[in-house]
Structures are given as structure tokens and as C-alpha cells.
Amino acid sequence: MAKTFDIKLKKSTIGCHPTQIRTIHAMGLRKINSTVTMVDNAANRGQLFKVQHMVEIIVKK
């Protein structure tokens, strides 16, 4: 089974760069404290790197 991440949006997207807002929405996060589960791959890691200051990442097996 692949490793997964639980991602929780901790900060608002108000005042953020538009590319960061689009990345947050592409990940499926809409409101503060919303959570999604993502598979660990290069594309998802790139998204997380771009918005790492706005989300909380919990690594699962």
C-alpha cells in the first residue's frame, strides 16, 4: 500500500498569490480546517511544497 498524507488547511487564502489559491483548490481544500487525503507522489509533493506554510501535513502509512 502506498504512503498517504492527510492535509489540513490551517491558514486562509485571503491575500495569497493566485497560484497558491489555485493549488489549494486543486488539492480539494475549500475552507479552513478542511482535510483531504492524498497519495505520496511527485506531483502531490510539489503541490505541498508550494503551500507548505498554509497547511498541516500528517504522514500515514
The pTM score is: 0.88
Go through the domains of the chain in sequence order and give each one's CATH number: 4-60 (3.30.1390.20)
Per-residue pLDDT tens digits for 15-27: 999 999 999 999 9
Q: b/e for 5-25, b at 16 or more Cβ within 10 A?
A: bebebeeebeebeeeeeebbe
Q: Give, to the nearest 10 degrees, the angle between helix 42-50 and helix 18-26.
A: 140
pLDDT digit string (tens) for 5-51?
A: 999 999 999 999 999 999 999 999 999 999 999 999 999 999 999 99
